[in-house]
Amino acid sequence: MLFDTHVNLHAEQFADDVEDVLARARAAGVTRFVTVCDRLDRYPAVRAIAEANDDITCTVGVHPHYAKDYWSLEAKTLVDEARHSKIVGIGETGLDQHYGYSDIILQERSFVEHIHAARETGLLLVVHTREADDLTGDILEREFKRGPFRILMHCYTSGARLAQRAMDLGASFSVSGILSFKAATDVREVMSKVPLERIVLETDCPYLAPAPYRGRRNEPAYLVDVCRAFADHRSMTFEDAARLTTANAIQLFQRAAT
């Protein structure tokens, strides 16, 4: 039994065959999914997928790439949407200075509004961070002092210092197919320091397909390969890794357990 904590089922790559994609995942042993919102205008489609499937829940939020399109976003909007029983997380949100699609000031403002919503609702904050380690850590620590909130560092590829700062705040971390990439030695080194009880699995499909599917469209069925890479990395059996990460994810996404 596997739990894919981060899928993008509303993506255009799945427009023609999402039901087949889900059938393959279920046949492979993936029994729970969290489908993630990246823009508020796509939220109705995200929620509809969750509403149509008993084994799928979702998040509400704005990816940092799109902060410029929602510059006036307020936490209240996210809190109001989060009353829906299918919502198990706020985000994904955070900072991304790799592409620079949105000004970093707008990204920071959006990030903070998401944090306020996560604090108020008690739902998990799904954090995306890329090439913004110091600022991400500064914001998380500053806001945590104002009141605690729960954190998931999604698809973590950042440095050891930010990982430690996040762990000091009680954060969990999701492992993706990147762990299986031959060149991802830095990621494996950082993740080796994260306690097992803080780790969950994700595909981030349709992106970041694990070996041996790298370069193809990713699917939640490939979570089997992510789990295998994680098990090998931490010298565990596949069964133990699946059991551990699923239990961690059920606890983390509390509404998903009901």
Residue 35 has a pLDDT of: 98
Q: pLDDT tens, 120-144?
A: 999 999 999 999 999 999 999 999 9
Tell me how many degrees the CA angle 186-216-185 measures, rounded to the nearest 5.
Answer: 10
Residue 100 has a pLDDT of: 86
Residue 94 has a pLDDT of: 98
Residue 258 has a pLDDT of: 43
* 150, amino acid identity: R
Query: With bands split at pLDDT 50, 70 and 90, how would you rate the model's confidence at 69?
Result: very high
pTM score, two decimals?
Answer: 0.97
Mean pLDDT of 218-242: 98
- Strands ordered across the beta sheet of 151-153: 2-7, 30-35, 56-60, 87-96, 124-130, 151-153, 172-175, 199-201
Which residues constitute the domain of residue 92? 2-257
Q: pLDDT tens, 45-60?
A: 999 999 999 999 999 9
Q: Is the pLDDT of residue 256 over 90?
A: no
Mean pLDDT of 235-258: 89
Residue 254 has a pLDDT of: 81
Residue 39 has a pLDDT of: 97
Bridge partners of 2, per DSSP, are 30
What is the CATH number for 171?
Answer: 3.20.20.140
Residue 242 has a pLDDT of: 98
**CA pseudo-torsion sign 30, 194, 111, 67:** negative
Helix (H) / strand (E) element for 4: namely strand 2-7
Q: Is the pLDDT of residue 211 over 50?
A: yes
What percent of the chain has pLDDT above 90? Answer: 97
Round the average pLDDT of the chain to a whole number and report it: 97
What is the total count of domains within the chain?
1
Mean pLDDT of 218-239: 98
Nearest to 156 by CA among 180, 191, 182, 183: 191
Mean pLDDT of 154-168: 98
